[in-house]
């Protein structure tokens, strides 16, 4: 599937606050590289409270790295989503240990 790389450091407004992609990581796993995007989120306009946290979004295994750009000029990579639950647990554990991130989402 296509993954459109977000502009790092750019704060994005959402319904409950903002989030900012901070960096991209390429994690080696089982002979392939897995893309993970680390970011910061601030919840300050939600009805149920406020707070902030770091997060990781894992698009998947990198098939083709930044092979083209889209109409907005953003790089596009081809990724294969991580489907195996054991692999998801291993990646989440690695992100906890190396980046101190507990909120991990897989596409």
Pairwise CA distance, residues 1 & 44, whole Å: 33
DSSP string spanning 18-54? EEEEEEEEEEEETTEEEEEEEEEEEEEEETTEEEEEE
pLDDT tens-digit profile of 14-56?
Answer: 888 999 999 999 999 989 999 999 999 998 876 777 788 999 9
Pairwise CA distance, residues 66 & 5, whole Å: 8
Q: What is the pLDDT of residue 29?
A: 92
Q: What is the pLDDT of residue 48?
A: 73
Predicted structure pTM score: 0.90
Q: What is the pLDDT of residue 75?
A: 98
Q: What are the φ/ψ torsions at residue 99 (nearest 5 degrees)?
A: -120, -5
Q: What is the pLDDT of residue 69?
A: 98
| pLDDT above 70 as % of the chain | 99
């Amino acid at each position: 599937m296509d993954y459109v790389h977000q502009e790092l450091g750019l704060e994005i407004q959402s319904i409950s606050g903002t989030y900012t992609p901070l960096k991209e990581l390429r994690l080696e796993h089982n002979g392939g590289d897995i893309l993970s995007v680390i970011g910061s989120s601030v919840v300050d306009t939600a009805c149920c409270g406020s707070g902030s946290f770091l997060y990781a979004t894992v698009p998947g295994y990198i098939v083709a790295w930044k092979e083209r750009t889209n109409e907005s000029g953003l790089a596009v990579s081809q990724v294969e989503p991580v489907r195996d639950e054991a692999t998801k647990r291993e990646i989440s554990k690695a992100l906890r240990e190396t980046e101190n991130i507990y909120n991990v989402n897989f596409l």
